Amino acid sequence: MSDTRILAADGTPLKKKLAQSMFRTKLRAFGLVCPLLALIISAFVLPILFMLSAAVYDDSYSSLMPESTTAMQEWDGESPITEAMAAAMVSDLIRARENKDIGKVANRVNREYSGATSLFKSTSRSAKKFEPPYLEALLAKDKDWNDKELWQGIKIASNTYTLGYIANAIDMRAKATGGFEPQDELRQIHITLFIRTIEISFIVTVACLLLGYPVAYLMANLPLRTSNLLLILVLMPFWTSLLVRTTAWIAMLQGQGVMNDLFVAFGVANDEDRFSLIYNKTGTLIAMTHIMLPFMIMPLYSVMKTISPAYVRAAKSMGATNWTAFWKVYFPQSVPGIGAGSLLVFILAIGYYITPALVGGQDGQMISNIIDFHMRKSLNWNLAAALGFVLLVFVLFFFWIYDRVVGIDNMKLG
């Protein structure tokens, strides 16, 4: 092969010569994107990787309770609790209390075994006075130390690398003996939320498409002046804060709000039982559809603008009715815009957070609201990370489906 390579005039291989001559151009291009690249890596890629790692990495027990961790790893999770395990536990509890780390440890175990917080704290207070045998001392302090489920919880908490959080995110939990089992029925909330999130995102996407397509079509086929005016109207919501728009919907949709007053005035609803349009799923759907609409219209419009009116005319000249000309000729050419708009809206909607939080009430909450809850209220960042990871997997899955059905090359944003 090498002897058939084309050489430049000075004898160097042409490929090498080309690379040399392009080097400055490439360097310049790299220089131009460098600041943004640095920002993205430091403010986007690294935090995300760090956050995702929290979904499977948790050393809050193993780093603070080293002796107990070793003992727990040796235990099979089934056989009776040994004196060695108890001794390691007491020694670690004393140290954790001295270092003021006992709260963290207690919290970690409490996620696996309810009631562990107070048990750990109270035990650690008297641990210094314990005499061997430590197992009996523990039992004397609190009968709960006899509960095998507690020790199993401790064993799970002692794993530094764990799939437990991801399992929690899909309503499963790790077993101390290895493997996974379904979460307690009362604590199974995530799957429902994921399904609701996908359902809401899907409905919002379809609603945006149905509402946005005619508008985009009109804009693409009107004279430039009129279509520019329409474009400004479509983009107008972006000039107002998202918070203001969402709050405006509250004023519109609430029980004594504008919409309900109108319904009552026109006799659609009785004054006594007005429609509940907000603080539920309906509210989330209405407000999110409104907020996402421009993201659907813009890609549709930019694709439709490139479809020459000559195509529809040609179809009509060949005998196609208005509908046939639209459905067989115009619509297929607008599919790239539909694809781009739908994907954009769906992916934005699936992670949407502010609007459901403000107008969603109880049954209009989405998975991101739960992630927020774990980030800010329960401070279970590991579970938040695991939920985020599962959400990311969903998004990638839908992206893959989209690629299979429509084809990602078929997407056009302008």
Partner 1 sequence: MAKSLPFVRYDNVQKSYDGESLVVKNLNLDIEKGEFVTMLGPSGSGKTTCLMMLAGFETATHGDILLDGKPINNIPPHRRGIGMVFQNYALFPHMTVNENLAFPLKVRKMDKAETEAKVKRALEMVQMEAFGDRKPAQLSGGQQQRIALARALVFEPELVLMDEPLGALDKQLREHMQYEIKHIHESLGVTVVYVTHDQSEALTMSNRIAVFNDGVVQQLADPVTLYERPDNAFVAQFIGENNTLVGKVTSTKAGKVDVDLGKHGHVEAVKVVEVAKGGQTTLSIRPERVAFEAKAPKGKMSLPAKVLEMIYLGDHIRCRMSVAGNDEFIAKIPNSNKTITLAPGKDGFVSWNIDDCRALDYS
- Which residues form the interface with partner 1 (CB under 8 A)? 308, 310-311, 313-322, 324-325, 328-329, 332-333
Is 304 or 384 the residue whose CB approaches partner 1 more closely?
A: 304
Helix, strand, or coil here: 173?
strand
- DSSP class of residue 7 equals B
Neighbours of 186 (CB within 10 A): 6
Is 96 or 411 the residue whose CB approaches partner 1 more closely?
A: 411
Is 175 or 316 the residue whose CB approaches partner 1 more closely?
A: 316
Shortest Å, Cβ 342 to partner 1: 18
Distance CA 371, CA 378 (A): 10
Is 188 or 324 the residue whose CB approaches partner 1 more closely?
A: 324
Residue type, 78: E
Neighbours of 7 (CB within 10 A): 12
Shortest Å, Cβ 333 to partner 1: 6
In order, the DSSP letters of 93-124 are HHHHHHTT-HHHHHHHHHTTSTTHHHHHHHHH
Shortest Å, Cβ 11 to partner 1: 39
Shortest Å, Cβ 400 to partner 1: 24
Distance CA 140, CA 153 (A): 20
- DSSP class of residue 81 equals P
Computed over its alpha carbons, how large is the radius of gyration of the chain? 30
Is 38 or 314 the residue whose CB approaches partner 1 more closely?
A: 314
Q: 182 has which bridge partners? A: 172
Crossing angle for the helix pair 331-350 and 190-221, to the nearest 10 degrees:
140
Shortest Å, Cβ 321 to partner 1: 6
Shortest Å, Cβ 180 to partner 1: 48
- Are 294 and 238 in contact, with CB atoms under 8 Å apart? yes
Distance CA 61, CA 64 (A): 5
Is 263 or 330 the residue whose CB approaches partner 1 more closely?
A: 330
Is 331 or 353 the residue whose CB approaches partner 1 more closely?
A: 331
CA-to-CA separations, 175 to 53, 70, 82, 109, in angstroms, rounded: 21, 18, 20, 14
The pair phi, psi for residue 181, each rounded to 5°, is -140, 160
Is 211 or 406 the residue whose CB approaches partner 1 more closely?
A: 406
Distance CA 192, CA 16 (A): 58
Shortest Å, Cβ 322 to partner 1: 8
Shortest Å, Cβ 325 to partner 1: 7
Distance from the first to the final alpha carbon of the chain: 42
